[in-house]
Amino acid sequence: MKDIEKKMRKRAEEVISKLTLEEKISQLLHEASGIDRLGIKPYNWWSEALHGVARCGRATVFPEPIGIAATFDEDLMYRIGDAVAAEGRAKFNIAQSIGNYGEDAGLTFWSPNVNIFRDPRWGRGMETFGEDPFLVSRMGVAFVKGMQGQDPFYLKTAACAKHYAVHSGPEGIRHGFNVDPSKKDLYETYLPAFKALVQEAKVESVMSAYNAVYGSPATGSHYLLTEILRDEWGFQGHIVSDNGAVEDINTGHHKVKDYAEASAKALKAGCDLDGGAAYEHLKEALDRGLVTEADIDRSLLILFMTRLKLGILLPDDYSPYKEAPESIICCRKHGNLAREAARKSMVLMKNNGVLPLKKDIASVFVGGAFATDTFALMGNYYGIAGHMSSYLEGISTHVSAGTKIYHMYGFQATTPNVNPLNYAIKEARTKDIVIITLGLSGMLEGEEGDAIATANHGDRDSLRIPEHQLEFLRQIGKDRTNKIIAVVCGGSALELQEVRELCDAVVLTWYPGQAGGEALADLLFGDANFSGRLPITFPTSAEALPPFEDYSMKGRTYKYQADGIDYPFGYGLAYGGKVKYGPLKAVRTDSGVKLAITLSNDTSCTIEETAQLYMAAPTAGVSSPFNSLIGFKRVKLAPGQKKRITFTVDKERLKTVVEDGTSVLIPGKYTFSVAAAAPCKRSEELGLECSKATIDIQ
C-alpha cells in the first residue's frame, strides 16, 4: 500500500473511532448527514453525469452514450470524460460555496451505464454503449479514466459502473424480476464490461441492480458483490445500491420480512452505501443480531476512503483537482468537443447521391416533430446547456442567405394530427429539398417513469416509427419530383424499411446533445464526412427477436442472430463510397496472433473509416458466437491514400467462454475478419467490405 494511502486509511479509521453508532449509520445513506463537531460537511452521494453533468443546471451536454458508442473513438470518449469531470469539479465548488449540499451537487457520479443493450425494446438502452461487450468495455474504460483522472491516489471525480449485473429491462418489472442466465452468457456477455472497468480503469464505485440473479436480489447477492466483484476481480472501491434497491429486497422480491432484514442482507452481501433509505433500519438490524458494528465499520471505511480520495471528507489542501474555475463550465472548448462528438456519432444509413447538399439551393423545407425540439437532442440524464442548436437552426446557418427555408411541423411526435387540413404537405411537395425529422424522443422511450407517452414504462413493444409520422412521409413522397432526406432521431433500433424506400437519404442522429443541429448541418452540407457506425444491430422487426423477458443471448445481437437483420452491427456509410480492404495477413506468434491489412481510399473524399476486427472460433455458430468483435481502429484516409494497419491479439483474447463460465482455448481453425461491419449474410447482401484470414491454433 502506498504511503499516502496508508496515511489516509489511518485518518479514516481515526474519524470512525470518534463516531457514535447513529452517526456511523447516517454515513451509509446516500444523503449523509454532516457531523459538525468533526468538521464533516453533509454530503449527498447521488449525482449523475451520463453525457455531461446532469440534473444540476448549466453544463455541456454531449451526445447520449449510444451515440458516443457509434463513434468507436476511445480517445474522444476519454476527452469527454475529462471535460465532464472538470465541469463537475467546478460546479461542486460553487455548490459548496452557496451551501448547496443536496442531490446532484456532489462528485460521486453514478455513471457510466455499462449494461449490455441486448434487446432494442429496452427504453434505457440509449444510456449504454451498445450490444457488444468489447465495445462497451473499451468506451466505458475510456470514460472512467477521463472522469477519475490520472493521479495515483486522488480522484478528479468518482465514476460508477452500473447496473451490476444482468440488467436490461423490461422496465415495468425491474423491481422484482429474476434472471437465471447461463454461466456462459453471464461471463461472455453480462460481466466483461464491469470486469474491465474494475481491473483496467479502477472504477471507484459499482452500483448493484434492481433485479435478482439466480434467485437472489443483486443488491443482496453475496455471489455477485463479494465472490465475483471483490474476491475474483479485486475491486477496492465502494458498492452502492440503485435507488430503492435495498427496499426492493423486501417489497419487490419478497425475500425478507422487513426493511431491517433487507438492510442486513445487503450490508452482509457487500453493499456499502444505500441509494435509498432502508439503511435507516440498520440500528434495528444490529439490535436483532442481524449485523454487527464491525460490518458497519467495514463499509464506512471504504466510503470514507472514497471521500478522502476526492479530498472532501475533511479539509484537504493536497488534491491536484481542488481548483476548478467556473469559466470551464460550458466553455468554448467543451462546446467544440460536443460538436465533434455529435458529428462523429451520426450514421449515414442511405444516400442515393442527394447528399452532400449544396449551400446555394433555392428552397428547402425543414419539418417533422423534432426540427425545433431541443428535447430531441438531449436523451435522458441530461444537463441544461448554455446553448442548444436545433436541427432547423443548424441548417439555417449553413445555407446561403438567399435560400428560402420553409418550416412547419407537419406532424406531432406522439399523436396523430387532429386538424384534417395540413398545409405542410403542399409546402413540402413544392420545395427542392425536404428534410423531415422523425422517430423517437424521451417521451417515447426511456426509464420507468420518464417516457410519459408510452404504456410500457418507457419500453417499446414495437420497433416501428409511429404510424402517423410514416403517413406524412407517404403523403409528401407520392409522385414527387423533389428530394427527401429523413433525419431519424432516437436511442435504439427502428424499422427503417419504409423510410428507406420513401427517402433519398436517411441519417440517424441518436440524441446528439447540445450541438446536434450544427453537427447535422456540418454533415448534410459536406463540411464534414459521416463516420458513425452502428453499435447495435437493427432487426427487420421486433418479431425477429426472442421474447423481451428472455435473457438468453440465443438469437440476440450480431453474435447470435442469424436472420432478420436489416442493418448489421458496425454499419455506416460515408461520402465518396467505400474504403477498399486489401488481403488480410495473419501470423501466429508466441503471445497470440498478429494481423495486418492495407486500407485504400480510391474516392475523392477524405474518409475516416472504422476498421473492425472480428474472430470466429472453431465452434462458431455451434457453441460460440458467429463472430466476436475483438478490436477496432478509426483510420483517416485522404483521397487516394493507403494505410497499413495492424492488430495484435493476445492468447487471452483467443479464448472462448464455455458452458460453465470458464474461458478455454479451443484447438482448431480460427477465422479473423477485418470488416466494415459484422460479418453476416446481411453484410454480404449490402456489399460491405470484409477481408478474412484463417489460422490454425493448437
532-580 pLDDT, tens digit per residue, is: 999 999 999 999 999 999 999 999 999 999 999 999 999 999 999 999 9
* pLDDT score for 213: 98
Mean per-residue pLDDT of the chain: 97
pTM, full prediction: 0.98
> Contacts by 358-362 with C-beta closer than 8 Å and gap 24+?
358/525, 359/398, 359/399, 359/400, 359/403, 359/525, 360/399, 360/400, 360/402, 360/403, 361/399, 361/400, 361/403, 361/432, 361/433, 362/403, 362/404, 362/432
What domains are defined for the chain?
3-328 (3.20.20.300), 344-567 (3.40.50.1700), 580-697 (2.60.40.10)
Task: Give the integer Cα–Cα distance in Å for 329 and 539.
Answer: 40
Is beta strand 585-589 parallel, antiparallel or unpaired with respect to 580-581?
unpaired
Distances (CA, A) of 680 to 23, 472, 542, 557, 654: 59, 34, 19, 12, 20
1: pLDDT strictly greater than 70: no
Q: Tens digits of per-residue pLDDT, 388-440? A: 999 999 999 999 999 999 999 999 999 999 999 999 999 999 999 999 999 99
Distances (CA, A) of 148 to 162, 178, 313, 628: 16, 33, 17, 30
Beta strands in 218-306 (DSSP E): 238-241
Please list, residue by residue across 87-116, b when 16 or more beta carbons sit within 10 angstroms of its beta carbon and e when fewer do. Answer: bbbbbbebbeeeebbeebbbbbbbbbbbbb
Q: Tens digits of per-residue pLDDT, 142-193? A: 999 999 999 999 999 999 999 999 999 999 999 999 999 999 999 999 999 9
Q: Tens digits of per-residue pLDDT, 296-342? A: 999 999 999 999 999 999 988 899 999 999 999 999 999 999 999 99
Give 367's strand partners. 408, 436
Q: How many CA atoms lie within 13 A of 588 on its CB side?
A: 10
Task: Give the integer Cα–Cα distance in Å for 599 and 609.
Answer: 9
The predicted model gives 347-375 an average pLDDT of 97
35: pLDDT strictly greater than 90: yes
Percent with pLDDT over 90 in the chain: 98
203: pLDDT strictly greater than 90: yes
Q: Tens digits of per-residue pLDDT, 511-539? A: 999 999 999 999 999 999 999 999 999 99
* pLDDT score for 362: 95
DSSP codes, 652-679: HHH-EE-TTS-EE---EEEEEEEESS--
Interior angle at CA 666, CA 664 and CA 670, nearest 5:
125
Q: Tens digits of per-residue pLDDT, 444-475? A: 999 999 999 999 999 999 999 999 999 999 99
Residue 2 banded pLDDT, cuts 50, 70, 90: confident
Task: Give the integer Cα–Cα distance in Å for 343 and 349.
Answer: 14
Contacts of 436 (CB under 8 A, 6+ apart): 367, 368, 410, 428, 472, 473, 476, 484, 485, 486, 487, 503
Q: Tens digits of per-residue pLDDT, 74-111? A: 999 999 999 999 999 999 999 999 999 999 999 999 99
Task: Give the integer Cα–Cα distance in Å for 116 and 291.
Answer: 34
Contacts of 111 (CB under 8 A, 6+ apart): 48, 49, 50, 143, 147, 159, 160, 162, 381
Residue 478 banded pLDDT, cuts 50, 70, 90: confident
479: pLDDT strictly greater than 90: no
Task: Give the integer Cα–Cα distance in Å for 428 and 366.
Answer: 8
Contacts of 540 (CB under 8 A, 6+ apart): 495, 497, 564, 565, 566
Higher pLDDT, 315 or 650: 650
Q: Using an 8 Å Cβ cutoff, are 269 and 219 in contact?
A: yes
Q: Which residue has the cell 474491465?
A: 196
DSSP secondary structure code for residue 323 in this structure:
-
Distances (CA, A) of 614 to 4, 441, 611, 685, 693: 43, 33, 10, 18, 11
Task: Give the integer Cα–Cα distance in Å for 171 and 212.
Answer: 14
* pLDDT score for 282: 98
Active site residues per annotation: 242, 445
Task: Give the integer Cα–Cα distance in Å for 142 and 115.
Answer: 16
Q: Tens digits of per-residue pLDDT, 594-630? A: 999 999 999 999 999 999 999 999 999 999 999 999 9
386: pLDDT strictly greater than 90: no
